[in-house]
Amino acid sequence: MASIRVRKGSNKLFVDFRFMGIRCREITNLVDTPANRKKLEKIIEKMEAELTLGIFDYAKYFPKSDKAQEMVALRDRRACIETDMPAFKEFAALWFSEKEIEWRDTYKRKIQDIIDMYLLPYFASKPLDTIKKTDVLAFRASLAKVTYGKVKKHLSAARINSIMVPLGMILKEAAKRYKFDNPYEDIKSLKQPKVDIQPFTLDEVRRFIEGVREDYRNYYLVRFFTGMRTSEVDGLTWENIDFDRREIVIKQALVKGKIVPPKTQESYRAIAMSPWVYEALQDQYKVTYKRSDYVFCAHTGSPLDYNNVNKQVWHPTLRLLGLKTRNAYQTRHTAATLWLAAGESPEWIASQMGHSTTKMLFNTYSRYVPNMTRRDGSAFEALVNQSQIAQRSTDKETSQ
């Protein structure tokens, strides 16, 4: 039987009861008065009924208790022993060990981080078959309240969906092995806002190339006119530059300081060099070829740190030129939209971007799609040659 007692020195009521054979004492905020004792007695009646039925939720009654997590974990461990059902933490570790052979290192780290940071704190000790759909939905709702950074931003729908993916995979596999209903079934991903692309106009590209630091001019010229991802251009090495065929071969990327395979199978590709990209890489060859394996590198020869480049070059240049603030990934979107504006074939553009089909191209850039007839990059060359960005080549020819 639970009893009501008074804490010495504070005159606050506390509840003295037993849960799973363990004596528990939980303080309340109620001062010892007849009215408060009567109020607490009603709560205790409900507690005792739930204790008898085996459905008592410790954390529900005492959410701020230091003992709540400990008691919940103890209850879950006993449930696992009694039913021979593994806890979520145990099975998640097994699942990860079986799946990691399929993944590249960067994806392994991503999944392990999600498990450690989000899934285990919520589900760790729960027996797998006790996790219900309501638990999964409550977990997802809790993610919407998570904040990060100095400005306390909330997790985006895309980030929440990415966290839910491994949870769904773990529960699906567990349900299959241990023959219980999958609690994740029929739970749909959150709707994500359409990708907000903010490509540069051709005039803005010209202004940026002319206004950026000289030692980064070739770097950004290549980014704007090849559509390469940041990880691809930062991981580009001289062995993958074919001046004879005028191609940039993409077969690796730089992710968190490590060279890894490209993002997808379709990302393995050869990008055609336009004349101004060819010229920029010829200039860069004179600067870094003997100093580093990387086409674009720091003064030490090590690969570029994109965070530093963004802080020290990209954003300051945008501010200096009065251009709209946007992330450097917009250089990739810019290449795609300029190719489309020039009338290049969508199949050719998709191959240059590393897309498997034109579907993503139309989904992302639909409002930039005119009637397209060309298929070899020449229409784009004609468009750019009409602008002042080709003036460098013209000036060189004049001086000779």
Tokens for 336, please give them: 């795609």
Confidence label for 66 from pLDDT (cuts 50, 70 and 90)? confident
The full length of the chain comes to 400
Q: If you average pLDDT over every residue of the chain, what do you get?
A: 88
Nearest to 385 by CA among 199, 206, 200, 204: 206
Q: Which residues contact 386 (CB under 8 A, 6 or more apart)?
A: none
Asked if the model's pLDDT at residue 355 lies above 50, the reply is yes
Q: What is the pLDDT of residue 251?
A: 94
Report d(CA 12, CA 27) in Å as an integer: 7
Q: Mean pLDDT across the stretch 150-164?
A: 90
Q: Mean pLDDT across the stretch 292-312?
A: 95
The top-scoring range by mean pLDDT among 186-200, 327-341, 370-384 is 327-341
Whether the Cβ atoms of residue 250 and residue 262 lie closer than 8 Å to each other: yes
Asked if the model's pLDDT at residue 299 lies above 50, the reply is yes
Segment (H or E) for 313: none
Report d(CA 344, CA 195) in Å as an integer: 22
Report d(CA 239, CA 139) in Å as an integer: 48
Domain boundaries along the sequence of the chain:
3-63, 88-178, 202-399
Q: What is the pLDDT of residue 257?
A: 87
Fold of 88-178: DNA polymerase; domain 1 (1.10.150)
Q: What is the pLDDT of residue 372?
A: 44
Whether the Cβ atoms of residue 323 and residue 204 lie closer than 8 Å to each other: yes
Asked if the model's pLDDT at residue 400 lies above 90, the reply is no
Q: What is the pLDDT of residue 105?
A: 84
Q: In percent, how much of the chain has pLDDT > 70?
A: 90
Q: Mean pLDDT across the stretch 207-217?
A: 96
Nearest to 4 by CA among 34, 19, 199: 34
Rounded to 5 degrees, φ, ψ at 148 are -150, 160
Q: Mean pLDDT across the stretch 122-150?
A: 90
Report d(CA 252, CA 238) in Å as an integer: 12
Q: pLDDT (tens digit, 9 = 90+) per residue, 218-268?
A: 999 999 999 999 999 999 999 999 999 999 999 999 988 889 888 788 899
Q: Does domain 202-399 have CATH number 1.10.1200.10?
A: no
Asked if the model's pLDDT at residue 373 lies above 50, the reply is no
Nearest to 227 by CA among 269, 261, 288, 255: 269
Q: Which residues contact 307 (CB under 8 A, 6 or more apart)?
A: none
Whether the Cβ atoms of residue 389 and residue 348 lie closer than 8 Å to each other: no
